[in-house]
Amino acid sequence: MPLNDWIPLFLFGGAVILAMALLARYQSGRYQDYLARHTAETEKVTTNQNRQIEQQEAHNALLRDQNALLDRIATALERKT
């Protein structure tokens, strides 16, 4: 087979390889954008969850203090009667 018969095959193969490389680059860029957005969103959610946990812990501490105070009042009332 002469070389002239192989030229269209080589050109087609080169075009396919180039198209695959461009597609891979495009998909990689899109995935990096997705990761950046996802990371930022995850950080926001984590920050909000940590703030809620801190608020819940503060609320629980207040409830413990209130319960201790109510126990002291109940004990004082029992001693009075």
pLDDT tens track for 19-69: 999 999 999 999 999 999 999 999 999 999 999 999 999 999 999 999 999
List strand residue ranges (DSSP E) for the chain, in order: none
Whole-prediction pTM? 0.56
User: What pLDDT shows up at residue 3?
Assistant: 77
DSSP structure class, residue 57 = H
Predicted confidence at residue 71, as pLDDT, reads 96
Predicted local confidence at residue 1, as pLDDT: 64
d(CA 74, CA 81): 11
